[in-house]
Chain A
Amino acid sequence: MSTKFRNVLRSLAALTLGTTTSLTAHAGFGDLNMTRGVTEISENIYSLHMTIFWWCVAIAFFVFGWMIWSLVAFRHSQGAKPDTQMTHSTKAEIIWTVIPVVILVIMAVPAARSLIAIEDTSNSELSIKVTGYQWKWQYDYLDEKVSFFSTLDRTSNETRQLQSGKDPRAVENYLLDVDKPLVVPEDTKVRLLLTSQDVIHAWWVPAFGLKKDAIPGTVNEMWFKVKTGKTGVYRGQCVELCGRDHGFMPIVVKVVTKDEFKAFVAAQKSAPPASAPAASGAAPTVASAGAGTPPRG
């Protein structure tokens, strides 16, 4: 109760102080914008996002400026007389149709370019099959024949129970930690093959820029390539409503150097297989399916 009250006060204080608090390291008030991420695609998307955003700001500046000007300059209370003859102007209408068209074209070109780049899954170097379950993820390294599940970590899980009495703020990476993260090498084009065993899920790590649905009965493709030197731990969540515990199936990706990755694979192979899932059947083999570019429809 007292923490709740303290939180209210805190947020009210923060409100009045405005963005001054936003400078603190990972304080929530500071998180105002999209992450730049650690892949070329994510940076690309970030700059696309900023471009459209600034265009919108520019248009807003103009439109809102116009509105506010009218509201101030033509006040009835100040004795403004209406110009009732001003009912249409073909010239004006053409101008405010054509200018938006031009702006939209300017936005559409880079957007189409990034889209084409994003959809190019050719030449990937590592294929991982990602299967969504209610409510966990399974990762199959197809060529390495390594397979395991990844679920919400114990501490978060205990804390998130209804009225658990535990303080989420005391849990590091609350709801964003798993028992066994996905491990991938840096500077490697990783192709994810997404599917599901029950309902639709979606796989998203904001730092990689993309999300894609994991749909039962079909395989979706998505790829990312973490830039060299950006090793570390990246977190995300399932982002398609998948039932009761949709909010509790996080994604954690550990990006390591190529050597560390080799060591990881070797260790996995020697270790006893972590309780093979009944539903998934035999681990599928795709003899370096990444060799060719798949035909596009």
Chain B
Amino acid sequence: MANTAHADHAHDHHDHKPHGLKRWLYATNHKDIGTMYLVFACIMFFGGGAMALVIRAELFQPGLQFVDPSFFNSMTTMHALLMIFGGVMPAWTGLANWMVPMQVGAPDMALPRLNNFSFWLLPFAFTLLLGTLFVPGGAPAGGWTLYPPLVLQGGDSFPFTIFAIHLMGISSILGAINVVVTILNMRAPGMGLLQMPLFCWTWLITAYLLIAVMPVLAGAVTMLLTDHFFGTTFFTASGGGDPVMFQHIFWFFGHPEVYILILPAFGVVSEIIPTFSRKPLFGYESMVYATASIAFLSFIVWAHHMFTVGMPLAGQLFFMLSTMLIAIPTGVKVFNWCATMWKGSISFETPMLFALAFLFLFTIGGFSGLMLAIAPADFQYHDTYFVVAHFHYVLVPGAVFSIMAGVYYWLPKWCGRMYNERLGKAHFWLSVIGVNVLFFPQHFLGLAGMPRRIPDYSTQFADWNMVSSIGAFIFGFSQLLFVAAIWNAVRSGEKAPQRPWEGATGLDWELPTPAPYHSWETPPAANILPKPGH
């Protein structure tokens, strides 16, 4: 390792870490920044979860027991913003920070200072957002979709919300640029694109989506801001604008956004299933192409969120058909995962359990998505709990479960210690039962006619709401086990070997455990690179 001429001698001390607060504030190390992202995401997840519990407590039975309707609306809005922008997106960026350099054989992310900037913008963005809970008029209450004219009625919280979104947007764009550049420019010598693990591939495509759509969201909320404060009429008909125009621009961002939340999950699952099936991923290349097709299609389906706004017939037909097409590449992925397990040698450690739950429950969420895509049927489903059930199935056992799967999977590599398998399994079973009790009944509620975003409901919806709320509390409190499992592993877990999972392949597992502070200061040798199209 010493045969490289080092320009900068400070690098010679491999595990020389800066100490104290400065290590985190001034960080440039991808692992430190990744850790900060993950911890931040976890805090936001609990914050957003606490808000969800307020929602579910209020909906436990008919009548208003705990909160005022406008506070309820704020909870719904903030819950979604925290979970999506504070929970899932930063969690993925955190995982990318940890894993991408390790998987492509790079010493660090391509632009380390920018990396830290991306991270530190987030706590400030969420300070602005959460600060609105204390301003006159309360937190934003127009739904996370921010539709005008309602959102323009927001009180003093309005500019805070807009600027918080701007900051989150800058953070995401800079973070995404870093990932793209790391993947395209920092791969180990001799590593072709089709040799990369799928997590890198899905993140590459996700990053592209992020750079393409976050600026559009920024533009949309900027127009809201000028409509509110500077007399523009983008979204006001009397001046020649149209409130529906906002919805088009928002969903041009919003639909790719949901794939931003799920594509990295596809990547993680594509790593875990082969490992615990002890068999290479089936159809590697078609997985890559399917991901790219999903990303492409995601740009031309946005108005399936708007079938009831009064679009011309041709528009409705187009968006219905294009949306249905997404089932095809997604199906390819699901079938490839099945084929990977087929004739494998499967064991059921916690990461695999979460990946399997993902496989089942995401597919269910996909089916309800397909049902929503059928425009005439969506006239019945739209803005009911059927939609809420759909997107929580793809988001919670979809995105969130795979984040947890990824954390359990790579934790030994990160901290050099194993989590407690019994604790992990307890967390898994409580979660998987809780999440289904929580969200499955919401399908029934929606079909029976319960609208979303209401704090109180007619008595015929009482029974399933109560079940759903019970599920929420089971699911919510079992997440404390997740924290416990990680805490326990980091403090007192068993020492982990270099390759704790028998079937694990890839450069990340070639590094010693725990991974050295600077990952691949010396590029990996050609003979340990993954084979092309493995």
Residues of chain A having any CB pair with chain B under 8 Å? 4, 7-8, 11-12, 14-15, 26-29, 31-35, 42, 44-45, 48-49, 52-53, 56, 59-60, 63-64, 66-67, 70-71, 74-77, 80-84, 86-89, 92-93, 96-97, 100-101, 104, 107-108, 111-112, 114-116, 118-119, 159-164, 166-169, 171, 173-176, 198-200, 202, 204, 206, 209-213, 215-218, 220-221, 236-248, 296-297
Q: How far is the CB of B371 from chain A (nearest CB, A)?
A: 5
B464, A28: Cβ atoms closer than 8 Å? yes
Question: Which 4 A-B pairs rank lowest in CB-CB distance, beginning with the nearest?
Answer: A217-B237, A28-B463, A247-B454, A31-B448
Partner of B444, one of A31, A163, A168: A31
Closest B residue to A68 by CB, please name it. Answer: B360
Whether a CB of chain A sits under 8 angstroms from the CB of B334 is yes
A245, B150: Cβ atoms closer than 8 Å? no
Q: If the complex has contacts A45-B376, A48-B376, A76-B278, are A67 and B310 also in contact, measured as CB distance less than 8 A?
A: no
Q: How far is the CB of A251 from chain B (nearest CB, A)?
A: 11
Which residues of chain B are within 8 angstroms of A239 by Cβ–Cβ distance? 382-384, 451-452
Listed residue (B62, B371, B377) with the most chain A CB atoms within 10 angstroms of its CB: B377
Whether a CB of chain A sits under 8 angstroms from the CB of B375 is yes
| Residues in B152-168 with C-beta less than 8 Å from chain A | 153
- Can you spell out 16 A-B residue pairs with CB atoms less than 8 angstroms apart? A11-B466, A49-B371, A60-B363, A60-B364, A63-B338, A67-B359, A75-B346, A84-B278, A88-B282, A89-B339, A107-B324, A115-B375, A215-B244, A215-B310, A218-B244, A246-B454
Q: How far is the CB of B339 from chain A (nearest CB, A)?
A: 7
B374, A111: Cβ atoms closer than 8 Å? yes
Which residues of chain B are within 8 angstroms of A52 by Cβ–Cβ distance? 370-371, 374, 377
B332, A96: Cβ atoms closer than 8 Å? yes
Whether a CB of chain A sits under 8 angstroms from the CB of B243 is yes
| Residues in B441-477 with C-beta less than 8 Å from chain A | 444, 447-449, 451-464, 466-467, 470
Partner of B346, one of A66, A80, A164, A199: A80
A45, B331: Cβ atoms closer than 8 Å? no
A176, B458: Cβ atoms closer than 8 Å? yes
Q: How far is the CB of A80 from chain B (nearest CB, A)?
A: 4
**Contact flags B327-348 to A (C-beta < 8 A → 1, else 0):** 1100110110011011111110
Q: How far is the CB of A230 from chain B (nearest CB, A)?
A: 17
Closest B residue to A215 by CB, please name it. Answer: B243
Q: How far is the CB of A48 from chain B (nearest CB, A)?
A: 5
**Contact flags B195-208 to A (C-beta < 8 A → 1, else 0):** 00000000000000
Q: Size class of B's contact patch?
A: 35 or more
Whether a CB of chain A sits under 8 angstroms from the CB of B277 is yes
B464, A118: Cβ atoms closer than 8 Å? no
Q: How far is the CB of A63 from chain B (nearest CB, A)?
A: 6
Which residues of chain A are within 8 angstroms of B534 by Cβ–Cβ distance? 87
Partner of A70, one of B61, B328, B341: B341
A256-B94 Cα distance, complex, nearest whole Å: 61
A211, B379: Cβ atoms closer than 8 Å? yes
Which residues of chain A are within 8 angstroms of B231 by Cβ–Cβ distance? none
Stretch from B25-33, B39-47, B64-72 forming part of the interface with A: B64-72
Q: How far is the CB of B57 from chain A (nearest CB, A)?
A: 11
A164, B463: Cβ atoms closer than 8 Å? no
Whether a CB of chain A sits under 8 angstroms from the CB of B279 is yes
Which residues of chain A are within 8 angstroms of B279 by Cβ–Cβ distance? 82-84, 86
A161-B70 Cα distance, complex, nearest whole Å: 13
Q: If the complex has contacts A70-B338, A218-B242, are A241 and B447 also in contact, measured as CB distance less than 8 A?
A: no
Whether a CB of chain A sits under 8 angstroms from the CB of B401 is no
Whether a CB of chain A sits under 8 angstroms from the CB of B317 is yes
Whether a CB of chain A sits under 8 angstroms from the CB of B149 is yes
A108-B281 Cα distance, complex, nearest whole Å: 32
Q: If the complex has contacts A67-B338, A75-B346, A162-B68, are A115 and B455 also in contact, measured as CB distance less than 8 A?
A: no
Q: How far is the CB of B202 from chain A (nearest CB, A)?
A: 18
B342, A199: Cβ atoms closer than 8 Å? no
Partner of B345, one of A12, A74, A107, A160: A74
A294-B413 Cα distance, complex, nearest whole Å: 66
Listed residue (B277, B280, B463) with the most chain A CB atoms within 10 angstroms of its CB: B463
A204-B458 Cα distance, complex, nearest whole Å: 15
Whether a CB of chain A sits under 8 angstroms from the CB of B73 is yes
Whether a CB of chain A sits under 8 angstroms from the CB of B78 is no
Closest A residue to B359 by CB, please name it. Answer: A67
B363, A45: Cβ atoms closer than 8 Å? no
Which residues of chain A are within 8 angstroms of B179 by Cβ–Cβ distance? none
A166-B76 Cα distance, complex, nearest whole Å: 25
Closest A residue to B238 by CB, please name it. Answer: A217
A104, B324: Cβ atoms closer than 8 Å? yes
A216-B176 Cα distance, complex, nearest whole Å: 38
Listed residue (B339, B374, B456) with the most chain A CB atoms within 10 angstroms of its CB: B374
Which residues of chain A are within 8 angstroms of B234 by Cβ–Cβ distance? none
Which residues of chain B are within 8 angstroms of A245 by Cβ–Cβ distance? 69
A175-B159 Cα distance, complex, nearest whole Å: 34
Listed residue (A8, A87, A168) with the most chain B CB atoms within 10 angstroms of its CB: A87
B312, A211: Cβ atoms closer than 8 Å? no
Q: If the complex has contacts A77-B347, A80-B345, A241-B453, are A114 and B376 also in contact, measured as CB distance less than 8 A?
A: yes
A243-B148 Cα distance, complex, nearest whole Å: 11
**Contact flags B404-442 to A (C-beta < 8 A → 1, else 0):** 000000000000000000000000000000000000000
Q: How far is the CB of B505 from chain A (nearest CB, A)?
A: 11
Stretch from B95-103, B182-190, B216-224, B283-291 forming part of the interface with A: B283-291
Partner of A161, one of B64, B345, B371: B64
Q: How far is the CB of B234 from chain A (nearest CB, A)?
A: 12
Q: If the complex has contacts A59-B367, A67-B341, are A199 and B149 also in contact, measured as CB distance less than 8 A?
A: yes
Q: If the complex has contacts A83-B343, A297-B312, are A237 and B374 also in contact, measured as CB distance less than 8 A?
A: no
Q: How far is the CB of A129 from chain B (nearest CB, A)?
A: 15
A104, B243: Cβ atoms closer than 8 Å? no
B149, A213: Cβ atoms closer than 8 Å? no
A63, B363: Cβ atoms closer than 8 Å? yes
Whether a CB of chain A sits under 8 angstroms from the CB of B142 is yes
Q: How far is the CB of A201 from chain B (nearest CB, A)?
A: 10
Whether a CB of chain A sits under 8 angstroms from the CB of B24 is no
Q: How far is the CB of A136 from chain B (nearest CB, A)?
A: 15
Whether a CB of chain A sits under 8 angstroms from the CB of B480 is no
| Residues in B299-314 with C-beta less than 8 Å from chain A | 308-310, 312-314
Q: If the complex has contacts A48-B374, A111-B374, A163-B64, are A237 and B283 also in contact, measured as CB distance less than 8 A?
A: no
Q: How far is the CB of A164 from chain B (nearest CB, A)?
A: 7
Closest A residue to B531 by CB, please name it. Answer: A87
A60, B64: Cβ atoms closer than 8 Å? no
A297-B312 Cα distance, complex, nearest whole Å: 6
Closest A residue to B455 by CB, please name it. Answer: A247
Whether a CB of chain A sits under 8 angstroms from the CB of B356 is yes
Which residues of chain A are within 8 angstroms of B459 by Cβ–Cβ distance? 28, 168-169, 171, 174
Q: How far is the CB of A68 from chain B (nearest CB, A)?
A: 9
B242, A67: Cβ atoms closer than 8 Å? no
Whether a CB of chain A sits under 8 angstroms from the CB of B380 is yes
